[in-house]
Amino acid sequence: MKWKKVYRYIVFKIEEKSRKVTVDKVGGAGESYQDLAASLPVDDCRYAVFDFDFVTVDNCRKSKIFFIAWLVSL
């Protein structure tokens, strides 16, 4: 994800009974944070990894990878 820049984000869930990690959705390189937010369910928990590109004040291109925990109170 970091070196090849093929994916912008990956959304996954953890199955409670089997305790397996399942990929829910993979966002392409052209997708945005809004696309990630729209893919998160309203009534269930998910986890995501998002590759955020930005430009610093010194006009230097940077990238940070964020881990996101999407929690819903049931």
What does the pLDDT profile of the chain (74 residues) look like in tens digits? 666 778 999 999 998 888 899 999 999 989 999 999 999 998 889 999 999 999 999 999 999 999 999 998 76
Contact, 23 vs 11, CB < 8 A?
yes
How many angstroms separate the CA atoms of 74 and 65, rounded? 28
pLDDT at 31: 93
**Model confidence, pTM:** 0.81
The number of domains in the chain is 1
- Phi, psi at residue 36, to the nearest 5°? -60, -50
Taking the CA atoms of 47, 23, 26 and 56 in sequence, report the sign of the dihedral they define: positive
Domain assignment of residue 53, given as a range: 7-70
- State how far Cα 13 lies from the chain centre: 11
| Residue whose tokens read 């994800």 | 1
Asked, for residue 2, whether it belongs to a domain, the answer is: no
- Give the domain CATH number at 33: 3.40.20.10
Asked, for residue 1, whether it belongs to a domain, the answer is: no
pLDDT at 13: 93
